[in-house]
Amino acid sequence: MPEKVLLSADEVLRAMRRIAHEIVERNRGAQDLVFVGIMSRGVPIAKRLAALIKEFEGADVPVGSLDIGLYRDDVLQGASPQLRKTDIPGNLQGKRVILVDDVLYTGRTIRAAMDAVMDFGRPKAVQLAVLVDRGHRELPIRADYVGKNVPTAQQEEVQVKLKESDGLDQVVIVEAASGKQGPGGNQ
């Protein structure tokens, strides 16, 4: 299966603008919001959402990054996590935390992220923003803000490409290598 473009650069921007507006509307402004991007592609998306809210509302939303490597449920199954630095902006006690990721798939990454977030205080609320929801949940996890819902087959992989890491903004769907999911389509 050749690479199929799901979202162009313009559509990625439009989806992010819509998500940013929805976050502000649902939370009645940007007060007490904290974005926490899940490494690696969730971090630049979180930073862009914060910049959009700054543009719309004139409010600075703190942005952190979260490495969920030690919280994954497959760590004990022999997978050796590559640890990266988690950077959470202050105590999350009483804050409205928006977890940000590129693709929502099984829900396992988000479950691990919620466990990790609780180690930094007890937020008032935890919400989830994703650029793409591809379905196939294994856990009862649902995104509060979705750029695009994309029904996929198990053997397909959704890849999010971002300027910061890939030189362009684009979301594509490809045939997954047998038994292996790559960045942006794995959990």
Domains of the chain and CATH, by start: 10-150 (3.40.50.2020)
Describe the strand order of the beta sheet including 4-7 as a list of residue ranges.
Answer: 4-7, 170-175, 156-161
Contact predicate 109/38, CB 8 Å: yes
pLDDT truncated to tens, each residue of the chain (187 aa)?
789 999 999 999 999 999 999 999 999 999 999 999 999 899 999 999 999 999 999 999 999 999 987 675 555 555 555 566 889 998 899 999 999 999 999 999 999 999 999 989 999 999 999 999 999 999 999 999 999 999 999 999 999 999 999 999 999 999 988 655 544 554 5
Which is it for the CA torsion 40, 44, 50, 52, positive or negative? negative
Distance CA 182, CA 47 (A): 23
